[in-house]
Amino acid sequence: MKEVFIVGGGPGGVKLAEELRSLGFESKIYLIEDRFLGGECTNVGCIPSKALFNFSKNFYKTQKIFNTDITLNPDNIFTNIRRVVNTIRKGIEDKLKKLEIDVIFDTAKFNNDKIIIFNKEYNYDVLALATGSYPINILDLVKSDIKDDSKILNNRTLWGDKLKDFLNDLAKGSRILIVGGGYIGLETASLFSIFKKSVFYIVELTDRILFNADKEISNELFKHLNKDNVNIFISSKLIEIKQNNGSYLVIFEKEGKLEQLEVDYIISAIGRKPNLPLELINKSDTNNIYFDNNLRLKGSKKLIFGLGDVTSFKMLAHKAEYQAKIVAKNIVDYFYKNKLSYEYTLNIESLIPGVVFTIPQAAFYGLTEDEAKNKLNNNVIVRKAYFSANPKAIADLDRIGFVKIIYNNLGEILGAHMIGNDVDLLVSVLLSYHSEVVVFPHPTLSEILNELI
């Protein structure tokens, strides 16, 4: 039997190893990781932010139902976030050990048809790239004279070695600029803003937050987030960052006028780029789609697959895991039948849900109302229900939000968009109505069903 080299130990790479074993693949599987098992998601993404989500959600809830003030302890929050991350990482380590996956800690490089690990070249039968993505650096895009960039953070530094100091500074009172009103920027502002002595600003280039979401969701979320100590500037372009002794002076353009803010921290959430190994890709491919529907690297003579963030489009952990299942089946298919039968298409991509873990949460999948109306010449049915009329929401003292479902005139669901408490679970319930593909969002309790169904 042939050997498989998986590069990247994030959700995609780990799931691929697991799936191969569950399909009965018994040969050597090498998994090469250059930072931490669990990848961006477990260490500096989904998991630490959701550990903070737990604090923030309960902070507001407790305050509301007991009508009391709560004193936050930044060290306690820090310790808890770290404990959660370490527990999940350890679980991944144990799982890979049990599955007899050879984990190697190094940066894999590539040379022609070989993979280089610890400066030694190896032939491979199958290579799977689960190399993820990296945050775009704000300092590459704006004018700046910065001498001290120690408080210009991205998700890696924020959830990594700067977290403890950041939490302590928030507790004392700091001014934070978040660049980018996508889901990462919004979660950052919403969750950390429980530190009421601090003030948060979001500068977003487009004319609404969560630009790809349904407009009503963007507007409703804006209404709930843009208050208290969070100030959102839409249609605003960051132009320059100047050093201002211990702080930063940021200049942005809003509707043709220059505005400025003095802040202590800048958090960049302006987007991510696929971490493609440049040695392997065909640079003449200008549309940036490097993998075909079988998730095979286009133009490669050898069997090279991609999965997860490296394949672009929706960069989400549950998408990486779903693609891992396809790649695993294709690998086995290829070895036994010399063909690749399993595909990841744009139709499947449209059923991959997104969840924004802000307070309140938002969740969605499929076409937005505008997209559906454009596509079907307004021939759509939009149904909407509000939590303010739902007995459980009323009992929970949480009446905010609504669920909106868009149908074609055959009664088929084209898209669903919701905002409110616990909509991460509600979107999972609705997804179960689709028989073709059901991908539960990560991290949610619904994922436990993946092991059972």
Minimum Å gap between C-beta 76 and ligand FAD is 21
Place of tokens 């672009």: 312
Contacts of 415 (CB under 8 A, 6+ apart): 214, 364, 365, 366, 367, 368, 369, 371, 372, 405, 406
One of 18, 33, 204, 214 touching ligand FAD (CB under 6 A): 33
- The site string for ligand FAD over 282-311 (x = CB under 6 A, - otherwise) reads --------------------------xxx-
Which one, 242 or 302, has the nearer CB to ligand FAD? 302
Under the criterion CB under 6 A, does residue 316 sit at the interface with ligand FAD?
Answer: yes
Q: Give the pair of three-digit tokens for residue 359.
A: 């307070």
Minimum Å gap between C-beta 191 and ligand FAD is 10
Which residues 40-79 are close enough to bind ligand FAD by CB under 6 A?
Answer: 40-41, 45-46, 49-50
Nearest to 134 by CA among 35, 61, 213, 67: 35
Neighbour count for residue 334 (Cβ, 10 Å): 19
Q: Stretches 128-136, 232-240, 292-300, 399-407: which one binds ligand FAD (CB under 6 A)?
A: 128-136
Phi then psi for residue 109, to 5 deg, are -125, 170
Which one, 178 or 380, has the nearer CB to ligand FAD? 178
CA dist 7 and 108 (Å) reads 7
Question: Considering CB under 6 A, how many residues would be counted as binding ligand FAD?
Answer: 37
Which one, 364 or 380, has the nearer CB to ligand FAD? 364
Q: Stretches 7-15, 285-293, 383-391, 420-428: which one binds ligand FAD (CB under 6 A)?
A: 7-15
Neighbour count for residue 226 (Cβ, 10 Å): 15
Under the criterion CB under 6 A, does residue 366 sit at the interface with ligand FAD?
Answer: no
Under the criterion CB under 6 A, does residue 189 sit at the interface with ligand FAD?
Answer: no
Q: Stretches 29-37, 161-169, 364-372, 398-406: which one binds ligand FAD (CB under 6 A)?
A: 29-37
Under the criterion CB under 6 A, does residue 9 sit at the interface with ligand FAD?
Answer: yes
Q: Provide the 8-state DSSP code for 446.
A: G
Q: Stretches 38-46, 235-243, 254-262, 336-344: which one binds ligand FAD (CB under 6 A)?
A: 38-46
Cβ(27)–Cβ(20) below 8 Å = no
Nearest to 133 by CA among 306, 381, 5, 259: 306
Query: Beta partners for 253?
Result: 237, 258
Which residues 147-166 are close enough to bind ligand FAD by CB under 6 A?
Answer: 155
CA dist 86 and 81 (Å) reads 9
- Asked if the bond preceding 441 is cis, omega within 30° of 0, the reply is no
Pairing of strands 114-117, 109-111: antiparallel
Outline where 175-275 has alpha helix (H). 183-192, 215-225
Residues that bind ligand FAD (CB under 6 A): 7-13, 32-35, 39-41, 45-46, 49-50, 107-108, 130-133, 155, 184, 275, 308-310, 315-318, 320, 357, 442
